[in-house]
Amino acid sequence: MKLQTYKKLPSIFRREEDFSLALINHIPELQVGDYEDAETESRVGTRRADIVATGNDGILVIENQFGKADWDHWGRLEAYTRLKEANVAILIAEDFEELMIVTCNLRNEDSNIDWYLIQAQVNAHDEVSFHHIARPAIDIQTEKKHTDYSEFWEPVRKEGLFAGKPVPLRDEGWIGKSIKGVSIILQFHNNACSVLLSFQGENRNEKRDAVIELFPISEYQFELRESPKFVNMLFPVMNKGKKDKDDWHIIREKLTELGSDIYHKIDASL
């Protein structure tokens, strides 16, 4: 059996600031709550936090760094979290020492704030994954709250390309799958649904150009959303969504059909 190999974050992100910019498109993958409005380099007094986000679960503060987490970043996270009056605090790094893990667990015992240490890893295909190293303990009330799962995604998660664990109701707006450094995200909003492609890595522009070649305008409609730091392609599916329950079966079919089509074309060509 071939073991998974991992690369360092700087192999696909030139600076930690570039990593922060990529992270704001993937906050749901951290599995810490529902946050949508994210800002990088958010001012806190005379300093700047890497990421501050707001949403249905309050305020989230993230500090991230390459390599092994150090106590300077932990100290900044504590200061920014308290000054922003945040509900959730996350330090993201590639490795953590045992004492920091113990410290984070102790924080969660005596604090109303949820503290996380999350490991970021890059595989051979330039795909980034996230793993909880330390997190709040799940008490009985929290566990009950997390047993509410999305009815919409239930048939999709049972079989097929996008099969997987049930989707918590709070994360109902999307599911995703990555391939060759491209994230394919099925989006499900109140009045619309779509497929979003997010390109990762230093060669994201080259990947974008290669993918565009696969989807001629005569057959596919999409919008390019990009800046010097990120590149996305949005494929609209229907102007129907959560509020159109009678049409959920059609929405599921069209979303998964397009998502699968995109996945297989990328898999065969990149």
CATH of the domain at 114: 3.40.1350.10
Classified as helix, coil or strand, 65 is: coil
pLDDT of residue 262: 95
Boundary of a domain, candidates 109, 137, 165? 137
Query: Does residue 147 form part of some domain?
Result: no
The phi, psi pair for 94, rounded to 5°, reads: -90, -20
Model confidence pLDDT, tens digit, residues 106-120: 888 878 889 999 999
Model confidence pLDDT, tens digit, residues 10-59: 988 888 888 888 888 888 889 898 887 788 888 888 889 999 988 777 89
- Statement to judge: residues 130 and 66 lie in one domain: yes
- Statement to judge: residues 251 and 158 lie in one domain: yes
**How many domains does the chain fold into?**
2
Angle at 196 between CA 155 and CA 265, to 5 degrees: 80
CA neighbor of 265 nearest in space, from 194, 154, 189, 161: 161
The structure tokens listed for 269 are: 């060509």
**Structural domain that includes position 187:** 154-269
Q: Answer yes or no: are the C-beta atoms of 194 and 187 closer than 8 Å.
A: yes
More confident residue, 58 or 155: 155
- Statement to judge: residues 129 and 29 lie in one domain: yes
Grade residue 202 by pLDDT with cuts at 50, 70 and 90.
Answer: low
Q: Answer yes or no: are the C-beta atoms of 104 and 114 closer than 8 Å.
A: no
Model confidence pLDDT, tens digit, residues 222-260: 998 876 666 789 999 999 999 999 999 999 999 999 999
Boundary of a domain, candidates 105, 137, 169? 137
Query: Does residue 63 form part of some domain?
Result: yes
φ/ψ region of 164 (left if φ > 0, alpha if ψ in -120 to 50, else beta) reads: left
